[in-house]
Each structure stands twice: as structure tokens, then as C-alpha cells.
Amino acid sequence: MVATKTLMTIAELERLPAEDGVRYELDGGDLVRMTFPKPRHNLLVGRIYRILLEFAERTALGIVYPSDTGYVLSRDPDTLRGPDVTYLPARRASLVDPDQHIEGAPDLAVEVVSPSDSAEDLDKKVKQYLAAGGHTVWIVYPLTRTVQVYQADGGVRQLTGDQILEAPELLPGFAVPVSRLFEA
């Protein structure tokens, strides 16, 4: 007899008791246990959030959400992810129910790499975001000070130093040197 694996739903995940220093995501119904990130990670996430937030407030083009906003990427089995920073254009953000997880991928998902992140896990997340309707994914590597940019059209770029990070179709007018993300 072959044992079958029990997959968890988002509703079941939400009923789990809170555990200090731990948060959860669902990956195709599999519970993913994640510990809180270290200060270097959070400082970088905060900087990226602030840069995008200033742009969004200045242009009124969309909304930037801080880390751990839940996005339902698939159902049955459920995939619920909480990228480090996300962006939704204003037209889509206006449809968001503030008391529910957001259905579909963020238009822009930003993941800042932690020491515990594997290349396989990051690749899987990128594919999940894009398959669920995401437009652009930025994977930010703190130690090498680089950003890998993945786009729904299959384009992939790696940027570093004074190369310009932008997403013209999604964030018209936004342009920042990669080095600015890593300034102290």
C-alpha cells in the first residue's frame, strides 16, 4: 500500500496556532515553515519597499505592499506565497479586498535572498509567480549585490552596480541604479 500525503488548504493554514519567530507559506498544499529573516535581509527589504513606495506615491500608478502580504497563486492544491515586496497597478489594487489574501500573483514580486534559500526554491517561486499571472520578478542577492530580473515574456537579465533597474511597462518612469538598493 502506498501512503498518500495530506495536503493543506489555506483555510487549514490560517487555523494553525501562531508560533513565535515562524511564518508559513503553502506550496502546492505542502506547508513551508519559514523563520524570520535576519537584520541584513530586513534592512534591504525595507530599502526596496521605501524606494518603490516613494515612486508609487509620487506617480499614483499603483500600490506597494510590504513583506508577507499573501498571494493565492493556485487552488486545489493551494499555493499561498508572501513575497518580500510587491506591487500592483492602481486598477488592480482597487479590486483588492483588504481582509482577504490577494488572488493571483503580484504584478511585481521582489524576493530578497536569505542564506537558507536554495536556488531550486527560488526558481520554483519565480515560475509560480509568472505562471499565476505575474509580470516581473526581481530576485535580489545581498551578498553579490546583484538583481536577477525575470519577465513574463521569458526575458531574464542580471544587473549589478550602476546598471539601471526598471520595468518600463509596469512602472513607467521608474529607474534606479542597482547600487542604490544596497546603500547603507
| H or E stretch covering 52 | helix 39-59
- How far lies 42's CA from each of 4, 136, 150, in Å? 38, 21, 22
Q: How many CB atoms lie within 10 A of CB 13?
A: 16
Query: Would you call the peptide bond into 106 cis, given omega within 30 degrees of 0 as the criterion?
Result: no
Among 76, 77, 127, 120, which Cα is nearest to 105's? 127
Confidence grade of residue 21 (pLDDT, cut at 50, 70, 90): confident
Q: In terms of CATH architecture, what is 38-181?
A: Alpha-Beta Complex (3.90)
Query: Range with the lowest mean pLDDT among 36-40, 110-114, 121-125?
Result: 36-40
31-35, 65-69, 143-147 — most confident range:
143-147
Confidence grade of residue 2 (pLDDT, cut at 50, 70, 90): low
**Residue 120 is which amino acid?**
E
Q: How many CB atoms lie within 10 A of CB 54?
A: 12
Give tens-digit pLDDT for 70-111. 999 999 999 999 999 999 999 999 999 999 999 999 999 999
Confidence grade of residue 1 (pLDDT, cut at 50, 70, 90): low
Q: Domain residues of the chain, as ranges? A: 38-181
Mean pLDDT of all residues belonging to the chain: 93
pLDDT at 45 over 70: yes
Q: Rounded distance, CA 183 to CA 178, Å? A: 9
Confidence grade of residue 36 (pLDDT, cut at 50, 70, 90): confident
- Looking at residue 153, the DSSP 8-state letter turns out to be T
Give tens-digit pLDDT for 118-138. 999 999 999 999 999 999 999
Q: The whole model's pTM is what?
A: 0.94
